Amino acid sequence: MGMHIAVEIADKHANPEIFEEIFSFFRAVDRQFSTYKNDSEITRINRNEIAANSYSQEMEEIFSLSEKTKRDTDGYFNIQKPDGTLDPSGIVKGWAIEKAAQLSLKMGYQNLYIDAGGDIQSYGLNGQGKEWSIGIRNPFNQKEIIKVVEVKGKGIATSGSYVRGDHIYNPRAPHERLLDVVSLTVIGPNILEADRFATAAFAMGRKGINFIEKLPGFEGYAVDSAGIATFTSNFEQYVKTK
């Protein structure tokens, strides 16, 4: 799906086979959900080549999660595009990372880090026996890190326009450009939860950080078009101070 993926497992007994299994899984997800592949399941659904009662179990799960997120966000998350086609990319990434992380945990690995397109799930400790540190990039200068956080087993997802341009839209006003906020980072119970709400909160514009503030178990950090950062009341608990 056109994104960089990095996997690190810090367990001393890590077998190279786990990496092949994880990347094979991501390749399978890409083949199934990429809207850029003519033979993917989602593309064939959009061409009305697959009946609803023939969707794969994975597609049914994604559609169910998408409908739940649409309800949870008062319609600010919607996989149906203005032209009527379906694009679940806003939820597939977090779902795939979470599945890959759970696969690793089930195989007995406890210290891992998976980053797909800047959305990250980590567990345990890094190779130096310390908490995994995650940098939030300056959306106006991607070489600069403006905050370093330690999320301690939670998921962290960032939505914005500074890398891929205007690829997120407000489903409630699809023709209006999202210009007020350029980056919104969400920390949630796991990467799936963080990712699905980060996409919707970004679509809300300036209201997005307030939406995250009211979500139990979530924290957020937003940067607006003037370079001013706004963060939720308990976000600082994750910020690395040294």
Q: What is the tens place of the pLDDT at every residue in 74-83? A: 999 999 988 9
How many angstroms separate the CA atoms of 125 and 153, rounded?
A: 9
Q: Residue 170 has what pLDDT? A: 57
How many angstroms separate the CA atoms of 87 and 76, rounded?
A: 14
Q: Residue 162 has what pLDDT? A: 47
* Domains, the chain, ordered by start: 5-238 (3.10.520.10)
| pLDDT digits (tens), the chain, 242 positions | 678 999 999 999 888 899 999 999 999 999 999 999 999 999 999 999 999 999 999 999 999 999 999 999 999 999 998 899 999 999 999 999 999 999 999 999 999 999 998 899 999 999 999 999 999 999 999 899 999 999 999 999 998 864 544 455 555 445 566 568 999 999 999 999 999 999 999 999 999 999 999 999 999 999 999 899 999 999 999 999 87
Q: Residue 212 has what pLDDT? A: 98
Q: Residue 160 has what pLDDT? A: 81
Closest by CA to 32, choosing from 5, 59, 12, is 59
How many angstroms separate the CA atoms of 50 and 213, rounded?
A: 40
Question: What are φ and ψ of residue 137, in 5° steps?
Answer: -80, 150
How many angstroms separate the CA atoms of 180 and 157, rounded?
A: 19
Q: For the whole prediction, is pTM greater than 0.85? A: yes
Closest by CA to 21, choosing from 92, 121, 93, 101, is 101
